[in-house]
């Protein structure tokens, strides 16, 4: 792996970063692991305003699955995210809404945000929403969705945001599971200029579910009433209803000075469904105190957040990245945050660059899948943009790979911005492993070093390594913690941290069995990683995505990263197929930039590339060119579908839960291409 110390080239960080230098990082990191209570006590005072201070910092253990932080402390989200900033800088911009149509862009000040959240909260109160109730939010990435999220905690309710692109079946499963009685939605939204029928989808989703008593409909796209129905006794036009609570309205005086709910630090703030591989979707629960604290701390640390910054995360609100790094962390830190409703190629492929220059963004955070997508258009679209306001650029969601890393760093960061590859997951609530601007030496392809309170440990099954520090025998499972560097293993986190998810809604056993019981005392991330000689982490991908070819183990991501080095590949997915002799053989799916090439030629080149960069053993058995790969909304390739296909199972109905799939059509095409092979 190439080490890449680009410190000297960076923009001078004259005002000093939040974490000043490597020594300070090391000192604080050590404290956060060895004396976590002292560390978190201080940070909890620094980042949050408490209604009632806590006396206990943390309690419980991973083994028992009963971790708590600040359990007797009380705080309110509205005060922390909105009120304290409104009081200081009412007319500064809190939200930048970059709508699907760039002409519809607008900004919202802290004052406006506070007014809207209060009004939405009064609406919820009027509808009888109480502390602990679950409220579903099925909206696009828009200011109204943020008002709804914050209004929930104002009245003590738990929000469940469902990605606006999900089908009625996906929404239905989530509404049923969370027993959510009240739903926020929009009449329609626009995506790439096309209308998306949100309200109609909700109607189908909740058909026959009697406990859904109110559907609040924001008229996001005007004057199209013939496109959807409104049901009396259940459906309410949100804007009109909100106006009834304003001066001169029917409910002008109802709860006019309602105070935000003071929440116990351990009260749930939200639940968020993640795509389980099969079966029922699972709702992970995040709390109010610990989650908010680590969200804010990691945001400030990783993005070098300063007063006056304009920070832009391009994610969708329905993803954990949207929750933590569009809404909660920036708002706690009083940072202007962007709500990007569109896609990188609408109305043209320069959309991201337009947004950066138009608003003077100081930070830009997106996914490798988006970087690879804009890369396919080359550097020409970037030429007329200066992008000079940027200081930090970030990546999240998958391993970024060397080629995309280089391109992003050079063409977007102009070789001057810090590129932070941030590794984390819905379950962690906040970034776990990432570089820190001004502090960490960057290495291409590495998420680098752990953040505060995160103690990563690589585990191998007994017998897998000679460098043994410790062995444990528990439930007949033997595993070893790898003490030394330059090795790979299962990535776990030893001990707990404030923003770790506390449970799965209604299924604590599944929570324990999935994350905590496999290796008692350790949180199982489900990823594998390599730690190099400097202690830097390289995430290799999900554990299930390791291939064993003739007793050689390959991570799918290292194979894919090598294959994307070919100038004509946009995206690649590698899965293992059963093989009589080799045990497993490598099956490659690839999407090409230029489709007018001879397929056999490119297949040969890809074979050679793997042989050269990885090993002869890594010669693929089959390479299939496809139009697109099946992906989740957050850009993750659904390899389990591809695995079914390569085992000649062509029955799409047996592929398990496909509700989170972004492009279902891709599956049929891949099935038909693979069928031709055999
Ligand atoms: C935030 C988010 C979590 C899984 C995670 C891992 C992969 C995320 C990554 C990364 C390599 C990174 N992942 N960030 N892999 N490098 N920087 O993505 O949450 O949707 O729950 O996914 O994503 O496999 O386990 P979530």
- Report pLDDT digits (tens) over 225-268: 888 999 999 999 999 999 999 999 999 999 999 999 999 999 99
Tell me, in angstroms, the distance from the centre of ligand 1 to residue 20's CA: 27
366 Cα: distance to centroid of ligand 1 (angstroms): 12
Q: Answer whether 378's CB lies under 8 Å from 570's CB.
A: no
Write the residue with the smallest CA distance to atom 12 of ligand 1.
423
Does residue 14 carry a pLDDT above 80?
no
Reading the block at residue 430, the tokens are 């906040």
Q: Is the pLDDT of residue 468 over 50?
A: no
| Atom from ligand 1 closest to the CA of residue 422 | 17
For residue 401, the CA-to-ligand 1 centroid distance in Å is 13
| 266 close to ligand 1 (CB < 6 Angstrom) | no
Query: What is the CA(532)–ligand 1 centre distance, in A?
Result: 20
Helix (H, G, I), strand (E, B) or coil at 280: coil
The rounded distance, in Å, linking the Cα atoms of 116 and 96 is 15
Q: Is residue 157 over pLDDT 80?
A: yes
Per-residue CA distances from 470 to 98, 164, 479, 535 (Å): 52, 47, 9, 18
pLDDT tier, 401 (very low <50, low <70, confident <90, very high otherwise) = confident
Percentage, residues of the chain above pLDDT 90: 77
Tokens at 455, concatenated? 């103690």
Which pLDDT tens digit goes with each residue over 275-326?
755 556 799 999 999 999 999 999 999 999 999 999 999 999 999 999 999 9
Residue 447 Cβ inside 6 Å of ligand 1? The answer reads yes
* Ligand 1 mutation target, pool 161, 326, 397, most atoms within 8 A of CB: 397
DSSP states along 634-671? TS-B-HHHHHHHHTT---GGGS---TTBS-THHHHHHH
Average pLDDT over residues 496-520: 96
397 Cβ inside 6 Å of ligand 1: yes
ipTM value: 1.00
- Atom of ligand 1 at shortest range from CA of 632: 20
DSSP state of 262: P
Tokens of 71: 């359990």
Q: Is the CB of 435 under 6 A from ligand 1?
A: no
Query: What is the 306 CA–ligand 1 centroid distance (Å)?
Result: 26
Kind of pairing between the strands at 134-138 and 158-161: parallel
Task: Find the 14 Cα to ligand 1 centroid distance in Å.
Answer: 32
The number of the ligand 1 atom at minimal distance from the alpha carbon of 447 is 17
| Confidence grade of residue 15 (pLDDT, cut at 50, 70, 90) | low
| Residue 86: half-sphere exposure toward Cβ, Cα within 13 Å | 17
Q: What is the pLDDT of residue 386?
A: 97
Band (476; pLDDT cuts 50, 70, 90): very low
Contact 301 CB / ligand 1 (< 6 Å) = no
The answer to whether the CB of 381 is under 6 A from ligand 1 is no
> What's the rounded mean pLDDT across residues 628-641?
87
| 218 Cα to the center of ligand 1, angstroms | 32
Calculate how far, in angstroms, residue 131's C-alpha sits from the geometric centre of ligand 1. 32
Average pLDDT over residues 194-203: 96
Kindly give the distance from the C-alpha atom of residue 512 to the centroid of ligand 1, in angstroms, as a whole number.
Answer: 20
Cβ(525) – ligand 1 distance below 6 Å: yes
How far apart are the CA of 321 and the centre of ligand 1, in A?
Answer: 10
Q: Given this model, what pLDDT does residue 12 score?
A: 52
What distance in angstroms lies between residue 559's CA and the mean position of ligand 1's atoms? 18
For residue 484, the model assigns a pLDDT of 80
From the alpha carbon of 319, which atom of ligand 1 is closest?
20
> What is the position in ligand 1's atom list of the atom closest to the CA of 542?
24
Q: Which residues pair with 127 in a beta bridge?
A: none
Q: What is the mean pLDDT of the chain?
A: 92
Q: How far is the CA of 270 from the centre of ligand 1 (A)?
A: 20
pLDDT of 467 strictly over 80: no
Q: Which of 405, 425, 530 is the best mutation target for the ligand 1 pocket, counting ligand atoms within 8 Å of the beta carbon and taking the most? A: 425
Mutate to test the pocket of ligand 1, among 400, 424, 529, 558 (most ligand atoms within 8 A of CB): 424
DSSP secondary structure letter of residue 633: T
So what's the pLDDT on residue 474?
41
Least confident of 113-127, 207-221, 416-430, 592-606: 592-606
Distance 638 CA to ligand 1 centre (A): 13
- Ligand 1, atom nearest to 321 Cα: 1
Q: Tell me which of 398, 404, 428, 637 to substitute to probe ligand 1's pocket, judged by most ligand atoms within 8 Å of the beta carbon.
A: 398
257 Cα: distance to centroid of ligand 1 (angstroms) = 42
pLDDT score recorded for residue 39 = 98
Average pLDDT over residues 417-437: 97
Verify whether ligand 1 is closer than 6 Å to residue 420 (CB atom): no
Q: How far is the CA of 539 from the centre of ligand 1 (A)?
A: 9
380 to each of 109, 353, 383, 395, 491, how far by Cα in Å? Answer: 35, 12, 5, 22, 40
Residue 9's pLDDT band (cuts 50, 70, 90): low
Determine which residue's CA is closest to atom 15 belonging to ligand 1.
398
Distance 398 CA to ligand 1 centre (A): 5
In terms of average pLDDT, the best of 441-450, 592-601, 632-641 is 441-450
| pLDDT tens-digit series, residues 530-560 | 999 999 999 988 887 788 898 888 888 889 9
**What is the pTM assigned to this prediction?**
0.91
Pocket test for ligand 1, best of 539, 558, 573, 662 (most atoms within 8 A of CB): 539
CB 175 within 8 A of CB 136: yes
> What CA–CA distances, in Å, run from 675 to 429, 433, 646?
41, 41, 9
**Of 91, 67, 148, 150, nearest in space to 332 by CA:** 150
- 557: CA distance to ligand 1 center in Å? 12
Mutate to test the pocket of ligand 1, among 276, 286, 322, 423 (most ligand atoms within 8 A of CB): 423
Band (pLDDT 50/70/90 cuts) for residue 11 is low
Environment class of residue 676 by beta-carbon count within 10 Å: exposed (0-12), middle (13-18) or buried (19+)?
exposed
């Amino acid at each position: 792996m190439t080490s890449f110390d680009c410190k000297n080239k960076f923009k001078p960080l004259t005002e000093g970063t939040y974490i000043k230098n490597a020594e300070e990082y090391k000192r604080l990191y050590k404290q956060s692991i060895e004396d976590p209570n002292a560390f978190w006590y201080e940070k909890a005072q620094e980042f949050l305003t408490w209604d009632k201070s806590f006396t206990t910092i943390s309690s419980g253990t991973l083994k028992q699955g009963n971790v708590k932080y600040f359990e007797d402390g009380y705080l309110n989200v509205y005060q922390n995210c909105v009120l304290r900033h409104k009081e200081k800088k009412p007319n500064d911009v809190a939200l930048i809404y970059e709508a699907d149509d760039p002409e519809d862009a607008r900004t919202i000040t802290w004052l406006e945000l506070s007014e809207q959240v209060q009004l939405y909260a009064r609406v919820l109160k009027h509808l009888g929403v109480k502390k602990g109730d679950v409220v579903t939010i099925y909206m696009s990435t828009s200011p109204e969705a943020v008002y709804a999220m914050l209004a929930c905690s104002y009245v003590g309710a738990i929000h469940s945001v469902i990605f606006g692109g999900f089908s009625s079946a996906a929404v239905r499963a989530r509404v049923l599971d969370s027993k959510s009685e009240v739903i926020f939605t929009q009449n329609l939204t626009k995506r790439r200029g096309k209308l998306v029928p949100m309200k109609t989808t909700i109607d189908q989703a909740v058909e026959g579910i009697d406990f859904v008593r109110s559907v609040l409909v924001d008229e996001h796209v005007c004057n199209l009433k013939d496109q959807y129905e409104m049901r009396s006794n259940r459906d309410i036009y949100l804007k009109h209803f909100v106006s009834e609570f304003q001066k001169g309205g029917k409910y002008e005086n109802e709860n006019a000075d309602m105070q935000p709910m003071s929440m116990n630090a351990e009260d749930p703030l939200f639940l968020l469904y993640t795509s389980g591989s099969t079966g029922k979707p699972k709702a992970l629960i995040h709390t109010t105190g610990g989650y908010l604290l680590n969200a804010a701390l990691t945001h400030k640390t990783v993005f070098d957040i300063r007063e006056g910054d304009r920070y832009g995360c391009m994610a969708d609100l329905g993803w954990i990245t949207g929750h933590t790094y569009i809404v909660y962390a920036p708002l706690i830190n009083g940072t202007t945050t962007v709500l990007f409703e569109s896609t990188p190629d609408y109305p043209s492929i320069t959309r991201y660059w337009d947004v950066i220059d138009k608003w003077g963004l100081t930070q830009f955070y997106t996914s490798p899948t988006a970087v690879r997508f804009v890369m396919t258009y080359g550097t020409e679209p970037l030429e007329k943009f200066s992008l000079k306001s940027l200081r930090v650029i970030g990546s999240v969601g998958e391993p970024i790979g060397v080629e995309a890393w280089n391109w992003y760093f050079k063409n977007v960061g102009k070789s001057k911005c810090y590129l932070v590859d941030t590794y984390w997951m819905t379950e962690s609530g906040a970034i776990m492993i990432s570089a820190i601007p001004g502090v960490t030496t960057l290495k291409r392809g590495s998420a680098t070093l752990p953040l505060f309170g995160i103690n990563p440990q690589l585990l191998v099954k007994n017998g897998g390594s000679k460098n043994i520090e410790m062995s444990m025998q528990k439930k007949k499972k033997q595993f070893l913690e790898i003490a030394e560097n330059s090795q790979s293993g299962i990535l776990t986190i030893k001990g707990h941290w404030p923003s770790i998810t506390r449970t799965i809604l209604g299924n604590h056993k599944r929570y324990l069995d999935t994350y905590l019981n496999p290796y008692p005392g350790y949180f199982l991330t489900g990823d594998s990683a390599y730690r190099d000689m400097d202690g830097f982490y390289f995430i290799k991908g999900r554990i299930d995505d390791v291939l064993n070819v003739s007793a050689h183990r390959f991570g799918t991501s290292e194979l894919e990263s090598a294959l994307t080095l070919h100038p004509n590949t946009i995206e690649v997915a590698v899965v293992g197929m059963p093989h009589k002799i080799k045990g497993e053989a490598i099956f490659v799916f690839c999407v090409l930039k230029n489709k007018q090439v001879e397929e056999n030629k490119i297949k040969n080149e890809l074979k050679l590339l793997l042989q050269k960069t990885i090993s002869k053993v890594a010669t693929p058995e089959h390479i299939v060119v496809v139009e697109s790969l099946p992906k989740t909304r957050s850009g993750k390739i659904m390899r389990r579908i591809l695995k079914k296909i390569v085992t000649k199972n062509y029955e799409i109905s047996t592929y398990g839960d496909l509700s989170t799939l972004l492009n279902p059509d891709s599956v049929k095409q891949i099935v038909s291409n693979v069928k031709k092979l055999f």
